[in-house]
Amino acid sequence: MIIGFIGLGRMGAPMAARLLGAGEGLVAYDVNRAAVDELVAQGATPATSAKEVGAKADIVFASLPSLAIVEDSLIGPEGAANGGRARIIVDLSTSGSQLAIKLDKALRERGIVSFDSPVSGGIKGAREGTLSLMVAGPEAEWAQVRHLFERIGKPFYMGSTPGAGQTMKLVNNLLGAVAIAVTSEGMAMGIKAGLDPARMIEVLNQSTGRNAATQDKWPRAVLPRTFDFGFAATLSLKDTRLMIDEAKALDVPLPHGQAVLRMLERVVETYGQDADFTAMAKIAEADAGLDPERAI
């Protein structure tokens, strides 16, 4: 089996590298030629387009930054589905259930099996193979390809309904973003009252307030004031908008999601397109009358 990989960004490149040696070869493509060259140096074969990946690989994985790019790269005129060889296509991106349903329909019409399998765990998890993968797709084919997913991380099969993996990922991302937002507010209050932030995190992580933000994001990116956890606020904003849109279609109110959406919008407006989503802490600090550019 020849494996293909489209999208060699900060998440895609380490995931692709973990698939080297899993089949008879790995064909890789990215618009950034340097990223392709780096993987080629590890043993991959380069491709010049997504369509070429679909012409050379039996199963194609994609990790891409936006819905438009996912759609174009997989089912567009120059997409992998038009390469002629691929029989299974896996979207590892967070692209929402509606696009997953659209991809599934378009791929089935071409005789191609579709899996939506967004991932969680960040760049560190991608490098170490400890990501969680939320997978939806046909059960029979799942049994055949599960071992490939297990090279990337721990897969959780969510069923055969197209988009089920995407829905699970959006729920996960909402909870993760809310944890950062509410931790930002609590920490800002404590800091303004004169508490030591490092001591606060230590207490929270031994108490009922602990969460993914206190356990990982604050020690790694907020307390040292680097704000470089590795997930862009623009991507978190995209995911939150997706979640709100899909919740609206299901008639599910998301008041906390709306609040996080506004906070992420402010991060991007204030700190730019490259800001990390942990910069929500700086927004809460500024609102509390603290100097978000100070060292603590």
CB atoms within 10 A of CB 289: 8
Edge-to-edge, what's the strand order for the sheet holding 45-46?
A: 45-46, 25-29, 2-6, 59-62, 88-91, 113-116
Tell me what the mean pLDDT of segment 161-188 comes to: 97
Give 53's pLDDT tier (boundaries 50, 70, 90). Answer: very high
Tell me what the mean pLDDT of segment 17-24 comes to: 94
Asked if the model's pLDDT at residue 294 lies above 70, the reply is yes
Domain ranges of the chain: 2-160, 166-287
Reported as a single tens digit per residue, the pLDDT across 100-136 is: 999 999 999 999 999 999 999 989 999 999 999 999 9
Catalytic residues: 169
Asked if the model's pLDDT at residue 283 lies above 80, the reply is yes
Residue 276: strand pairing partners: 232
CATH number 3.40.50.1970 is the correct assignment for the domain at 2-160 = no
Reported as a single tens digit per residue, the pLDDT across 175-210 is: 999 999 999 999 999 999 999 999 999 999 999 999
**Architecture of the CATH domain 166-287:** Orthogonal Bundle (1.10)
Reported as a single tens digit per residue, the pLDDT across 230-266 is: 899 999 999 999 999 999 999 999 999 999 999 999 9
Closest CA to 223 of 244, 204, 247, 245: 204
Give 155's pLDDT tier (boundaries 50, 70, 90). Answer: very high
Cβ contact 85:54 at 8 Å: yes
CA distance 232 to 225: 16
